[in-house]
Structures are given as C-alpha cells and as structure tokens.
Amino acid sequence: MSSRGACGSIIVAVACAAAACTVSNSGRDQCQMDSDCNRPRVCRAAMCVAPSQASVWPGFVEIGGALGTACTAALAADPTSAIGALSFIPCTSGEACEELSWDGAVHWNPTGSGDLLEFDVQFARDAQGHASRVLVRHHYAIGASYGPNPYEAVLYDVASGAPLAVLRNEGSRAPTTGSSGGSGMDCVVTPIATPAGLWLAGAPGRSAETVAGFVPVPGSAPVTLVPAGADGTFLLNAAVALDDRLALSQNDGKIVVVSREGASQSTYGPGQRVWLQDFVGDRFLTANTVGPAYFTLDSTLQFAPYGEQQTLVTDGARVVYVKTTDTGFEASEVSAADGVSAPGVLLTLTDPSKQPGAPFGSPVLQVFGSAIGDDTLVVLTYEAPTFTSDTGPITAHIVNLATAAVQTKVVLTNSNTSAGLNGQHRLFGYAGGALWLGEYGITGGVAKVLRVRL
C-alpha cells in the first residue's frame, strides 16, 4: 500500500483504518462514504468505484467497462437488500394456482394503464437435472429493431426463494429519458443462469461486438466483460450456458462459444444450419429446424449426430420423446448418451378421436407441452373439439421417473391453450414440485408468471 493509503490521504487513512476500510482481493477499496475513496472515485454499496459506476439505483454498482460509461446496466451489491424473496399470491383468476408477486423496480407504463414489460423464466439445473436456480427476467419485448430495455432480472434460489443476483438496465443515459435513466436498444445486457452463477452477454449497442462475463453466486459486482467474438443477433436466436461455457447463436448460423477465462471460438453447423436448443451433460444440444435433426456440440467444437427425428425434452440429465401414435401419444425415455438407445415407455395417452367407432367430430387430444426435471416428467394435454378453438381444461400427466408411477391432475380449468393471445398460456418448465407457466397479456407478451403445485 502506498503512503496515501487505501482511502485517499494519510489523515484519511487513519480514519479509514478505524472504519475498517481495506483493499479487497479485487483491488477495489471498501468504504463507508465518498471521502474514504481516492478521488475521483465515490463510495457506492460499500465499495470505491468510478463515478461512471455510481448507479441510478442505490445499492447497485454499474458494470461499465466494455459497456461504456453511458450504460446504466448495474448489479446489486447486496441482492437481499435490493429485492425481496421469491413470493407468490393466489391467482386473481380464481384458478387453483399461484401468481408471482413481483416487487421489481424497473417498469414501463407510458399510458398509465399498467406495466407493459413482459416476463420470461429460465431454470438452472445441476448434473442430475434438479433445478437449483430460477432466473426471472422482466423486460421490454425484443425484436430486430426494438428492445430489450428497460430490463430487470433476478436470480433466485429455488429451495429458499432468496435472491442471489439482481441486474437492472435502462439503456444508455440520454437527456430525453428524464427520470427513466436510459432508453432503447443501446447498452444491451442479457443474463443466462447456471447452477454456479450468472453469465452476462451484452454490448454498448446492437451493432457493436458482444462482450461477456461470469458472475459467481452468491455475489454480484464487480464483473469484467470481455469481447466474445459474436454480434448482437444472439438476442433474436438463443443463448445457452454451462458453468464453464456460454454459447451464442448468430443470424448467419454461426455458434460462438466463450469460456470463463475469456477465450472465444466459433463454428458453423455440420453441413447444415443448426440452432442452439439446450444442453445434455457437458455438451450443447443443437437442432435443425427441419426434422428436427439433433447434433451435440462438445467443448472442442465437434458436432455429433444425436437422437431421433422427433422433438425431445431434456433436463440435461435425462432425455424423453413425446411421440404421436396411431391411438394417441406415447412418452419414452432414452439414453442421454446418444438420445436413441435403451428406449423405455413411460406414458401412453389415448386420443378419443382415434378410437374404433369414434363419431365424426369427437374431441381431439392435443399435447400442450412437456417438461422434465427433478426426477419428474409432466405431459400437458387438452381435448379440443374438431375445427374449433379450445379454452381448456389443461390436464397434467405426471410421471415419477424414479418409481414409474403416473398421476393425473387438472392444472388449469379454463385456459386458452394456443400461445400468444391475451389470457393464453406458455409452459416455462417444472421445478420445486410445481409447474411454471406464463400468462399472456394485452401486448402479446407474458404479463404474469403462474405456478401450479402438483
């Protein structure tokens, strides 16, 4: 330490020592007030930071760095002080479900009629397919020429509901935004959850090179974002993460993979265009949009054919296909090693319209969606009258993968089942003994997050 000390001067250094102001492992000073810091740094969230990192939200530290000094993207220094624990209230619709009680600070209500930001949910699962983290993202709709700011995301522990990381971003500071702090497509940051933490991928603007970095949890700031060798089109495609790697899909078909150490490499599909889909074990799972034909992508960027020409569902540890049959549907588990071998039937569902002697116009069994995780498979179905739209109910067929026991339960009694219109639903997944669904609002985005305990 120099003669000036960590806190700015010899005199202040003495006071700083009394206040337990020290140099942290990252080289940033701990502090209690602005005078504890070497100028021009200021004290924010008990840390000395550059003025550009003094967030518009108290208790947050702006990421800055490669995002630029005008970017408002910031992480909470203490997530538990920034936002409450994961909380739900009884569904206001009267359904036997719970509705997320969101206490985030970032909103967009230009007409005074209510918050128009939309939700999405991502789970982080361990090597056994158990969900340990849930990431709730609340942001402006994302398109080729708009979004995603304003943006707020919270990573929660599934078991306790405690917040582990909080990200807020209102874009770049601009005089025209007034108290909103920022705007539009400038300064983009997207979080992707893993069991060990949170990947951040973003850029100062849509046309700039993407930068990425990893935030271990519990913990938050500071984080250093490094060039990833990708462009901003991953926002319109997909981002899939493991603890040690982040993969980004590009508009031109390229897949970019970034390591925790900052190394970047890229590849194109194995003789055909493929898209990031998920992961199985320590490999990324990609799919051709026609087929689908699956390929895994390993840590050396080698593709290998995977699975069948059917749509699969996976929790990273187990793989299941839900197939159409002559009499209805069938769910079968296969080996996660190759997605094909050791098939075993888990569930058989009968479609009334396919039974011998079924009258014309009999209800048609439809699969609304499937989810797997926590040693459980859930297949959601509804019966739709022929040639008409359906309003539910949605029934869950629940398979205990440890015992092969099957249960059936109606999860929503009066639900529009097609996605994308007001009041209709989207399946996010299964975690913590419950189904997680999104309910669409008037803007066409998910306005509510619902949870149905099974």
Reported as a single tens digit per residue, the pLDDT across 238-278 is 999 999 999 999 999 999 999 999 999 999 999 889 999 99
431-454 per-position pLDDT tens digit: 999 999 999 988 788 999 999 999
With 70 as the cut, is the pLDDT of residue 7 above it? no
Task: Pick the range with the lowest mean pLDDT from 8-17, 188-197, 378-387.
Answer: 8-17
With 50 as the cut, is the pLDDT of residue 381 above it? yes
With 70 as the cut, is the pLDDT of residue 6 above it? no
Q: Residue 142 is encoded by which pair of tokens? A: 């994302």
pLDDT of residue 376: 98
Q: Is residue 310 part of a domain?
A: no
CA 397 vs. chain centroid, Å, equals 25
pLDDT of residue 36: 78
- What is the domain extent for residue 39? 1-49
Place of tokens 């109606």: 410
With contact defined as beta carbons under 8 Å apart, do 219 and 207 qualify? no
The DSSP element (H or E) to which 14 belongs, if any, is: helix 10-18
The more confidently predicted of residues 7 and 437 is 437
Q: Is residue 5 part of a domain?
A: yes
Q: What is the mean pLDDT of the chain?
A: 85
pLDDT band for position 179 (50/70/90)? very low
The DSSP element (H or E) to which 279 belongs, if any, is: strand 275-280
Alpha helix (H) ranges present in 197-338?
none
Q: What is the dihedral of CA 414, 97, 279, 374, to 10 degrees?
A: -120
Residue 454 is given by DSSP the state: -
Q: Is residue 8 part of a domain?
A: yes
Task: Pick the range with the lowest mean pLDDT from 107-116, 296-305, 386-395.
Answer: 386-395
**Mean pLDDT across 407-424:** 77
With 80 as the cut, is the pLDDT of residue 174 above it? no
Q: Residue 154 is encoded by which pair of tokens? A: 């919270």
pLDDT band for position 4 (50/70/90)? very low
CA distance 96 to 369: 19
Q: Is residue 316 part of a domain?
A: no
CA distance 347 to 370: 12
113-147 per-residue burial string, b: 16 or more CB within 10 A, e: under 16: eeebbbbbbbbbbbeebbbbbbbbbbbbebeeeeb
**Burial of 41 by CB count in 10 Å (0-12 exposed, 13-18 middle, 19+ buried)?**
buried
pLDDT of residue 116: 86
Task: Pick the range with the lowest mean pLDDT from 59-73, 138-152, 197-211, 408-422.
Answer: 408-422
With contact defined as beta carbons under 8 Å apart, do 324 and 331 qualify? no
- Count of domains observed in the chain: 1
pLDDT of residue 370: 97
Residue 169: name the closest of 193, 146, 186, 145 by CA.
186
With 70 as the cut, is the pLDDT of residue 57 above it? yes
Alpha helix (H) ranges present in 19-91?
79-82
DSSP code per residue over 382-412: EEE-TTS-----EEEEEEETTT--EEEEEEE
**Mean pLDDT across 411-431:** 80
E strands present in 309-343: 312-314, 319-324, 328-334
Q: What is the dihedral of CA 253, 254, 259, 263, to 10 degrees?
A: -170
Q: Is residue 176 part of a domain?
A: no
Q: Is residue 397 part of a domain?
A: no
pLDDT of residue 145: 81
With contact defined as beta carbons under 8 Å apart, do 153 and 135 qualify? yes
What are the backbone dihedrals phi and psi of residue 65, each rounded to the nearest 5 degrees, phi first? 55, -125
409 Cβ partners below 8 Å, 6+ apart? 395, 396, 398, 454
Partners of 438 in the β-ladder: 426, 449
Task: Pick the range with the lowest mean pLDDT from 131-135, 342-346, 355-359.
Answer: 355-359
Q: How far apart are the first and last CA of the chain?
A: 58
What letter represents residue 414's amino acid?
A: N
**Mean pLDDT across 417-437:** 84
Q: Is residue 158 part of a domain?
A: no
pLDDT of residue 27: 43
With 50 as the cut, is the pLDDT of residue 16 above it? no
With 80 as the cut, is the pLDDT of residue 333 above it? yes
**Mean pLDDT across 370-387:** 90
Q: Is residue 439 part of a domain?
A: no
Residue 232 is given by DSSP the state: G
Residue 273: name the closest of 298, 252, 303 by CA.
252
Residue 372: name the closest of 441, 442, 454, 317 by CA.
317
CA distance 288 to 273: 6
Above pLDDT 90, what percent of the chain? 61
CA distance 297 to 107: 38
With 80 as the cut, is the pLDDT of residue 391 above it? no
**Mean pLDDT across 125-146:** 93
pLDDT of residue 418: 62
CA distance 224 to 239: 19
How many residues belong to the chain?
Answer: 454
* pTM recorded for the entire structure: 0.85
Place of tokens 């530290």: 61
CA distance 267 to 254: 6
